Structure 1
Amino acid sequence: MTRLSTHDAIIIGAGPAGTSVALTLARRGWAVAIVEKRLFPRRKVCGEYISASNLALLDRLEIGDAWRASAGPQIRRVGFFSGNTRVEAAMPPARAGRCADDGFGRALGRDVLDTLLLQAACSAGAEIFQPFWPVAIDRDGDMQTVRIQASNVSDEHTMLRAPVIVAAHGSWEPGPLPSQLAKTSRPSDLLGFKAHFIGSSLATDLMPLLVFPGGYGGMVFADHGRLSISCCIRRDVLARLRGNRLPEQDGPKENGHLSAADAVCRHLMSSCRGVSDVLEGARLDGPWLAAGPIRPGIRACYERDIFRVGNAAGESHPIIAEGISMALQSGWLLASELGGAPTGQAGREAAGRRYEATWRGLFSTRVYAAAGIARLAFCPGGPALMRVAVRNLPQALTLGAHLSGKTRRVPGFG
């Protein structure tokens, strides 16, 4: 069975980037379709922290009050945990928004945040196709056709037509769309892991960076008392950790080896004393999640009549905890350009050029800065050098948080 539906824009992916585009365009009177392959709520591999510089944008998207009511405590300190080193410094405040407490960022689980955003998009008039899997994109004159398939019904297809296609599907999973990255496997690939814990002893206003052999990560208190731990680890390092299992070790096994999640957790605990200290007595809330490989870098924001937002447009190393901020802001920037663009191919191309220029101006510095910090963390002796630096100059953590964009306001918000 096949049905046809026509729209002004089709958004592929219902994460923060896709829904911020959809919300903004729908409130401008656009007929918007959102295609999402997973049912919500669902957890994601993500650090879950949102910088305070986004709060005016959340208010504009009309989820600011719901976010304030649900998010975890304010993060007023940034930290560094590596080996036996534990260093803390002040988090630089952003200019306060309409509430006195808006100067500091907070964390909210993606199972909660993404559901809030998608519900808001639906209320604004966007048509939601969920769970549907995008199968192909074809040119149809001045329009493009996206063929989608119900995830649980193999013979049901829907054809969506629109002049504007927005790729908000992220960068981690390959697929048949021209905007999706090819699948490769390299020893240096970074694989992402994430888990929630209940009952940890981490200070609720502290967000430490974790640096350990072969990877980096972070911890932050999110909603409902959940401690969110996320990290990236090199594929070859993880393979060694899983292969070096001693016979007397306990833990889940896969083909006689430690499971990937158990190996990562043990590695974090053994190489960062700060992690083992704050997790003593804590319990895992749900399973560990894994994703990747992560593909940091800057990609084309507009190519072959497809606009890209979020990680599909460009991705910083998660070491700076700016992924959600970049996703929300990129979606807003694109919708702002499209909303004022003339109709037709020439108008879309002009909007694409303006959007790409604005994207690079806002995000390229933090992408390059994150890459530099990540290279230092991975190079031989890098973690030791970082430990010495932050012990002698804790203010470097404050400066790093500022340079990562945590105080930079979204264009158009003052």
Structure 2
Amino acid sequence: MKRPSTHDAIVIGGGPAGASAALALARRGWAVAIVEKNVFPRRKVCGEYISASNLALLDRLGIGDAWRAEAGPEIRRVGLFSGDTTIEAPMPGARSGPARDGFGRALGRDILDTLLLDAACSAGAEVFQPCRAVAIERDGDGQAVRIQPTGGKAGDEATILRAPVVVAAHGSWEPGPLPSQLGKVNRHSDLLGFKAHFTNSSLPSDLMPLLTFPGGYGGMVLADHGRMSVSCCIRRDRLARLRGSLAAERGGHVSAAEAVGHHIMATCRGARDALEQARLDGPWLAAGPIRPGIRAGYEKGIFRVGNVAGESHPIIAEGISMALQSGWLLAEELGRVAGGKAGREAAGRRYEAAWRGLFSTRVLAAEAIARMALGPGGAALMEAVVRNFPRTLTLGARLSGKTKTVPGLAVSGLAR
């Protein structure tokens, strides 16, 4: 056993939620450890769009200029590609902030996550990467986190990190031994996530369409360096049937990603047109199942940020926004902690209330939209409504939180 290392906070997960929380705490003078299981840069299943309402937060975190230099074009239109129908409407702009930040843009997770983790490291956070947290145990008034190198064996030498504050930012899709990780039970109705990058697509640079197709939904957006991101969810049972029928037709094994790509192209004309001349840039990625819903933000002495705190259906493209903002909210509340278990519990209650106040509407809106898209005849109903009232798309984007500013930026104690 390696010698224990003591910190003020241990953050498990170096994605947008964990890195933003760690960076904000480190810039407050906290001694922070980040445990990240993967080597960066790496791609992730994610829509990659960030609303303009987040850009003041990125500035405060110190990566705003780098984000602007790397991200794709402004997304000024939202659309619907459903069957043979393509409909467009204006994207609502941000209500506040610099005029140059009126609209959101997309940036690949391989770039965004590296920017955030590097900034946290520069702010003084100690990064353990690639390492996996394998246990969290009570340690007097604090917690002890046992970590091991990713890919190591069960008997490999472990390192113990100690801190009064532990932040779970490991996402909700992967089960594991930690008390903050969610159990995984396979259901026929599970939504599995897929994502790929393409180059040379014909999708208009300022348009982000929602895709609906039998058994699932998705989205497309032009991100950085000419890459177009396609992300989608599909029901497990629908995917199984698609793979079986396509394998029978072709006389051989068909991968899940191949079946998903074929299904989208066959059932959604707008996507087919955008991808007709496009080239796949890297492999399709898969993850999930997604677990939409609101969970405890503080439980068993562990704070939660990002997807593990609560998850919206990705149909509204707000995953990164919720991750960044939840990390910020938690850092704000922890910055007010007087000390001791009672102080942490009070911070946990305040954080949960702030989380629900900021995110519950978009979680519920996403669930309603997803139910419509996935239900019998729902896609046709959605198509009919949007065809007659295209501004429904604009309203939906507003309800999803794309114009809702991040609270606390004006009065925060974080250094600018």
> Does the alignment reach a TM-score above 0.5?
yes
1:269 aligns with 2:265: yes
- In structure 2, the partner of 1:355 is 351
Long gaps (5+) in structure 1: 251-255
- 2:205 counterpart SS class: coil
1:104-133 Cα shifts (integer Å, max 9, x gaps)? 000000000000000000000000000001
- The alignment's C-alpha RMSD in Å is 1.0
CA distance in 2, matches of 1:340, 1:288: 43
Q: Is the 8 A contact 1:242 1:259 kept in 2?
A: yes
CA distance in 1, matches of 2:116, 2:326: 15
**Residue type of the partner of 2:49?**
Y
Q: CA deviation at 1:97?
A: 2.2
CA distance in 2, matches of 1:175, 1:353: 26
Q: CA deviation at 1:248?
A: 5.0
- In structure 2, the partner of 1:319 is 315
Q: CA deviation at 1:101?
A: 1.9
- In structure 1, the partner of 2:393 is 397
- In structure 1, the partner of 2:89 is 89
1:73 aligns with 2:64: no
- 1:216 counterpart SS class: strand
- In structure 1, the partner of 2:9 is 9
1:206 aligns with 2:207: yes
Q: CA deviation at 1:188?
A: 0.2
1:42 aligns with 2:42: yes
TM-score, reference length from structure 2: 0.97
Identity %: 76
**Residue type of the partner of 2:122?**
S
- Aligned positions of 1:184-199 closer than 5 A: 184-199=185-200
- In structure 2, the partner of 1:253 is none
- In structure 1, the partner of 2:168 is 167
CA distance in 2, matches of 1:282, 1:51: 26
Relative to structure 1, is the Cα distance of residues 381 and 232 closer, same or farther in structure 2, using a 3 angstrom cutoff? same
Q: Is the 8 A contact 1:78 1:206 kept in 2?
A: yes
Q: CA deviation at 1:245?
A: 2.0
Q: CA deviation at 1:183?
A: 1.2
- In structure 2, the partner of 1:135 is 134
Q: Is the 8 A contact 2:247 2:253 kept in 1?
A: no
TM-score, reference length from structure 1: 0.97
- Higher alpha-carbon deviation: 241-250 or 220-229: 241-250
- In structure 1, the partner of 2:379 is 383
1:113 aligns with 2:109: no
Q: CA deviation at 1:356?
A: 0.3
**Residue type of the partner of 2:331?**
A
Q: CA deviation at 1:257?
A: 3.1
- In structure 2, the partner of 1:149 is 148
1:346-390 Cα shifts (integer Å, max 9, x gaps)? 100000000000100110011011001111111110011111111
Q: Is the 8 A contact 1:3 1:157 kept in 2?
A: no
CA distance in 2, matches of 1:48, 1:30: 29
- Aligned positions of 1:250-265 closer than 5 A: 256-265=252-261
- 1:136 counterpart SS class: strand
- 2:259 counterpart SS class: helix
Q: Aligned pairs, how many?
A: 408
- In structure 1, the partner of 2:342 is 346
- 1:275 counterpart SS class: helix
**Residue type of the partner of 2:189?**
S
- 2:401 counterpart SS class: helix
1:374-407 Cα shifts (integer Å, max 9, x gaps)? 1111111001111111111100000000010000
1:50-93 Cα shifts (integer Å, max 9, x gaps)? 00000000000000000000000000000000000000000001
- Higher alpha-carbon deviation: 2-11 or 165-174: 2-11
Q: CA deviation at 1:3?
A: 2.7
Long gaps (5+) in structure 2: 411-416
- 2:400 counterpart SS class: helix
- Equivalent in 274, 279, 292 of residue 278 of structure 1: 274
